[in-house]
Amino acid sequence: MDNATTLIYDGSFNGFLTAVYKAFDENINVLDIQKNTIAQRGLFSNTKTVFTQMENAKSVWNGVQTKSHIAIRNIYFAFLSEQKDIEMLLYIFIKKLFSPTDMISINFTDDLESKIYQIAKTVAKEKKYMETFAKFSTTSDAVHVAFIKPDNDILPLISRHYRFQYADKTWLIYDSKRNYGLYYNLQSVAFISLDADTFSTNINLSDLNVKSLLVRKLHRQPMQKQRNGYVEERTAV
């Protein structure tokens, strides 16, 4: 077997799934899976950079979904926890899920599955909290803004709720810990960032003009089971 390899990916969920696909497809002995922003490349470490491939990510997504609808949800939620070494935990879980000689039961008695379930449960709990208690203020350009600092990366999980809850208002929910937000313009929701040079969460919101600070849409690609299956468009879910 080849020497153990660290796979470096772009930090997105699809990037992670692509890394899993590459590991399976090339029979890689995976030492670790790391985001490119925090990767620790040792002097003698064997690393491979993985470029996100949507079809490969989709293949893993659909494969896990055929094994268990519960598993695919828990994998996505646990990934958004951003816990240390979560990628390797999920990779081992997926590898075990696909092993014909070591199938995981769905009653959460398996230690690995139980750990992932508990992490996903924590993310789901914070998602629910943010859907209930996010506080909005109105800016000078009539945008309803809420600044949050969640422990987990829950923005991809809450846009559906707010699209229905505030369908008649322009709003922005901004994760100031991760410096990106969800922006709704009465038609669609997009991931955006704000101009950090002129923006501060300490600013008087009544003086803030959000639209002038929108600098770009972020190409995030969350995936979540919907009625039509895999989500391919670059939108919040």
pLDDT per position as a tens digit, 209-233: 777 666 555 555 444 433 333 333 3
Give yes or no for residue 110 having a pLDDT over 90: no
- Identity of the amino acid at 133: F
Mind listing the pLDDT tens digit for each residue in 16-64?
A: 999 999 999 999 999 999 998 876 655 457 999 999 999 999 999 999 9
pLDDT of residue 233: 32
CA distances in angstroms from 67 to 70, 90, 201, 227, listed in the order given: 9, 15, 44, 17
Average model confidence (pLDDT) across the chain: 82
State the residue for tokens 């470490």. 45
Which secondary structure element, helix H or strand E, spans residue 77, and what is its range? helix 69-79
Does position 113 have pLDDT exceeding 70, yes or no? yes
Among 136, 88, 148, 134, residue whose Cα is nearest residue 115: 88
- Quick one: pLDDT band at residue 3, thresholds 50, 70, 90? confident
The 10s digit of each residue's pLDDT in 172-203 is 999 989 989 999 999 999 898 876 655 555 66
DSSP structural state of residue 106: S
* Chain-centroid distance, C-alpha 18: 14
Give the pLDDT confidence score for residue 39 in this predicted structure. Answer: 61
pLDDT given at position 33? 96
* Per-residue buried b or exposed e for 199-236, using 16+ beta carbons within 10 Å of the residue's own CB: beeeeebeebebeebbeeeeebbbbbeeeeeebeeebb
- Average pLDDT value for residue range 73-93: 96
pTM of the model: 0.82
Give 157's pLDDT tier (boundaries 50, 70, 90): very high
Q: How far apart are CA 123 and CA 150, in angstroms?
A: 10
